[in-house]
Amino acid sequence: MTRFTPREGFLLAALCGAIFLEGSGIALLTIALPRIREDFGASTGELSAIASAYVIAYGGFMLLGGRVADVFGRRRVFLAGLIAFAVFCVLGAAAHEVWLLLAARFVAGAASGFMTPAGMSLITGTFEEGPRRDRALVFYGAATAAGFALGAALGGLLTAVHWRWVLFLPALLAVVILALSVATIPRDGKPGPRAALDLFGALKATAAAVLLVTAITRLEDPAEGTTTTGLLFVSGLALLALFLVRQRSASAPLVPPRLLRAPGVLRADAAVLLFAAGFYAFQFLLTLYLQELLGWTPVQTGLAFVLMSLEVVIAPLLTPRLLGRFGTRSVTVLGLLAGVAASAWFLPAGTEWGMGWIAPPLVLVSLAFAFAYGPLAISSTSGVDDQGAASGLFNAAVQFGAAIGLAAAAAVYSIALGADSGTAAGLDAFRIGVWVPVVAFAAASALGLTGRRSSPSPQATDTEG
């Protein structure tokens, strides 16, 4: 049976609410950037820094957050991260200087970097491996996708009131989620007397992640300076190599070597990295197409993106049944191929397209999330004891994928556009840029096909709440 107790249901609602906030963190603010420029007189570089600060810190602190949750308690780390997230959202909303908004966004991203792996490991630790955990992770994946998709819609509506609400509202919701979490998440046991943390390894991993994500983000604008970007890449890769060497000999490794030797886990993490790259590239390019080429307003664009959140309904109702009948690998590949179809739909895009042409690929993206994200989360945490570290590795892959996808899409679009600002040039640049999500989704599909076919579980078809 996959029925949840009332306490489990409220616990799952709290954790899904938190990942919704984290997932919407980027999309909410993106649509508000032009208004922020008006208020602060910010340069394009400062706007880019404000947008990227969150994802840089989020991806950079994810592995550390996962290990800290394993060592010091998942509940403690989750609640601390949620409180820090709310506080720095308020500070960002109240900021009257660019540097303060930038700092607040960075710390909010770091808080999410601790909160996300702790929350995901609370799910995998609360629900035993099998149909119940699978269904819980499907709900969790649906909440993540809802944050990505509805964040843009909410951002457009809130910006129409005032851009500061895109930060105030998440803080208010975080307080509600905090109250529910305190009431439903079981208390952690006392840390063992020999509980340890490889802080030196953690610092190297975090620094490497921050340097690499920063370098990837800088690829969006070649004018940033190739020498500096190259040095960031080299430094990040060097620190990453030192970190991996350290993990082989550390007494309390940040990422246990047995986790790195698990082929199913690493395959799922690599696939979700490519999936996130495809999704964020798709969303970025579609925003430019709708607003700059078709002349849609931010509110119209945001409302159209609501179609991508249909998976909030599809995933809980249909995905567990498909997993029970066909197995994880088949359902995952189906979702990834839906992503290929959605992005390839726009290869012949024109300036005369209306909602009738745009709606079908948005629905396909919602199917991609419904059938791919949750099953990949299941694969990345199945059969491992270090749930916090496994969750941190999975979510770090998502953030790295987001940074790669955004940077690649922006770079390809900018290069294709060149100095021409005409509609025809913009349309050609969009069509070329769309190849970025097509390739990313296709590569993820190919990787998914190499996985071992999983056995269907008849129990998973029971989806009673």
Residue 347, pLDDT score: 95
Which whole number is the average pLDDT over 369-383? Answer: 84
Mean pLDDT over each residue of the chain, to the nearest integer? 82
Band of residue 189 on the pLDDT scale cut at 50, 70, 90: low
Find the range with the poorest average confidence among 69-73, 347-351, 386-390, 401-405: 386-390
Find the range with the poorest average confidence among 61-70, 109-118, 323-332, 435-444: 61-70
CB 106 within 8 A of CB 89: no
Nearest to 304 by CA among 365, 345, 362: 362
Which whole number is the average pLDDT over 195-219? Answer: 72
Cβ-based burial of 44 (10 A; exposed 0-12, middle 13-18, buried ≥19):
exposed
Domains and CATH numbers, the chain: 6-188+197-461 (1.20.1250.20)
Which whole number is the average pLDDT over 121-147? Answer: 81
What pLDDT digit, counting tens, does each position of 404-417 carry? 887 788 778 877 88
Which whole number is the average pLDDT over 117-135? Answer: 83
> Distance of CA 109 to CAs 60, 241, 399, 430, 441, Å?
9, 25, 11, 30, 26
Residue 86, pLDDT score: 95
What pLDDT digit, counting tens, does each position of 251-307 carry? 767 777 777 777 678 889 999 999 999 988 898 888 888 878 898 877 787 788 888
87/171 Cα distance (integer angstroms): 7
> Distance of CA 166 to CAs 87, 144, 209, 302, Å?
14, 18, 27, 13
Q: Which residues contact 424 (CB under 8 A, 6 or more apart)?
A: none
Nearest to 141 by CA among 371, 314, 376, 374: 374
User: What percentage of the chain carries pLDDT values higher than 70?
Assistant: 89
Residue 288, pLDDT score: 82
What pLDDT digit, counting tens, does each position of 12-60 carry? 999 999 988 887 877 788 777 777 877 888 765 577 678 778 877 887 7
What pLDDT digit, counting tens, does each position of 89-112 carry? 999 999 988 899 999 999 999 999
Q: How many CB atoms lie within 10 A of CB 249?
A: 9
Residue 460, pLDDT score: 44
Look at residue 351 and tell me whether its pLDDT is greater than 60.
yes
Find the range with the poorest average confidence among 330-339, 367-376, 413-422: 413-422
Residue type, 29: L
Residue 173, pLDDT score: 93
Residue 459, pLDDT score: 43
218/205 Cα distance (integer angstroms): 20
Residue 224, pLDDT score: 64
Residue 452, pLDDT score: 61
Residue 439, pLDDT score: 96
Cβ-based burial of 383 (10 A; exposed 0-12, middle 13-18, buried ≥19):
exposed
Look at residue 465 and tell me whether its pLDDT is greater than 60.
no
Nearest to 405 by CA among 285, 226, 225: 285
User: Long-range pairs for 444-448 at CB < 8 Å and ≥24 separation?
Assistant: 444/271, 444/272, 444/274, 444/275, 444/278, 444/336, 444/339, 444/372, 445/333, 445/336, 445/337, 445/339, 445/340, 447/267, 447/270, 447/271, 447/274, 448/271, 448/329, 448/332, 448/333, 448/336
Give, as one character, the DSSP assignment of residue 97.
S
Find the range with the poorest average confidence among 203-207, 290-294, 379-383, 456-460: 456-460
User: What percentage of the chain carries pLDDT values higher than 90?
Assistant: 28
DSSP string, 215-262: HHHHTT-GGG-HHHHHHHHHHHHHHHHHHHHHHHH-SS-SS-HHHHT-
Which whole number is the average pLDDT over 145-167? Answer: 82
- Residue 221 vs residue 99, higher pLDDT: 99
Find the range with the poorest average confidence among 7-11, 152-156, 220-224, 370-374: 220-224
Residue 198, pLDDT score: 67
Residue 43, pLDDT score: 67
> Kind and range of the H or E element at 66?
helix 62-72
Look at residue 203 and tell me whether its pLDDT is greater than 80.
no
Q: What is the largest CA-CA distance in the chain?
A: 67
Residue 464, pLDDT score: 37
Find the range with the poorest average confidence among 147-151, 194-198, 402-406: 194-198
Look at residue 194 and tell me whether its pLDDT is greater than 60.
no
Q: How many CB atoms lie within 10 A of CB 326?
A: 16
